[in-house]
């Protein structure tokens, strides 16, 4: 079974929310309840169905494969490529916004216009930020570390950040038009 928490998915252990449970699992010593998520039943050997090297937090993460897949999406915006789970499994909108802000790339930049050094930088930073994200989330301090996501001002330029629905998925992007370069 594969669970994707989408935008608002969550889970509770030994607790319930006052909303419909998408999947509830009951055990002798407790329960696991999943909410607002996509669930897919996978049949067969999971290792033949899932590319573990695309999971940015998996020990088998393969930067070279991610770079190769990223370069194949020549007509895509980088904001779409970062949310492509076939390339960056586990990356969501917050990570997309924060990584692009950190490395000063506009979300509507064309992947095929990015230099190889920038592509390598994106791939490295996605993995770094994903582990930081998890640590901050565990310590209940994630929002304190946001530099761009849901923010109003650029911490570097002291100018207003733009909030715009970008890419084919029209996901919220927060970016600075002054310091985040648009490659087109």
Q: Beta strand pairing status for 10-13 and 30-35?
A: antiparallel
Q: pTM here?
A: 0.83
pLDDT of 46 over the 90 cut: no
CA distances in angstroms from 72 to 43, 76, 115, 119, 156, listed in the order given: 29, 9, 14, 12, 32
Conformational region of residue 36, where left means phi above 0, alpha means psi within -120 to 50, and beta covers everything else: left
Under 8 Å between Cβ of 123 and 61 = no
pLDDT, position 74: 63
Residue 75 has pLDDT above 80, yes or no: no
Per-residue pLDDT tens digits for 106-160: 999 999 999 999 999 999 999 999 999 999 999 999 999 999 999 999 999 999 9
pLDDT band, residue 50 (cuts 50/70/90): confident
**pLDDT, tens only, 151-184:** 999 999 999 999 999 999 899 999 999 999 999 9
Lowest mean pLDDT among 71-75, 98-102, 120-124, 138-142: 71-75
In degrees, rounded to 5, the angle at the alpha carbon of residue 2 between the alpha carbons of residues 58 and 39 is: 145
Task: Please give the span between the terminal C-alpha atoms of the chain, in angstroms, as a whole number.
Answer: 40
């Amino acid at each position: 079974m594969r669970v994707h928490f989408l935008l608002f998915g969550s889970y509770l252990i030994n607790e319930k929310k006052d909303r419909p449970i998408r999947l509830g699992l009951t055990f002798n010593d407790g329960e696991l309840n999943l909410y607002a998520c996509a669930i897919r039943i996978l049949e067969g050997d999971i290792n033949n169905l899932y590319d573990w090297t695309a999971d940015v937090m998996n020990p088998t993460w393969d930067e070279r494969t991610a770079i190769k897949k990223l370069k194949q999406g020549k007509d895509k915006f980088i904001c779409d490529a970062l949310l492509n789970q076939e390339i960056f499994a586990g990356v969501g909108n917050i990570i997309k916004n924060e990584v692009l802000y950190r490395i000063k790339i506009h979300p509507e930049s064309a992947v095929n216009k990015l230099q190889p050094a920038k592509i390598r930088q994106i791939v490295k930073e996605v993995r770094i930020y994903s582990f930081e994200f998890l640590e901050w989330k565990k310590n209940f301090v994630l929002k304190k570390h946001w530099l761009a996501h849901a923010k109003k001002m650029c911490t570097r330029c002291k100018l207003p950040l733009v909030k715009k629905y970008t890419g084919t998925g029209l996901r919220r992007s927060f970016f600075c038009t002054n310091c985040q370069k648009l490659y087109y």
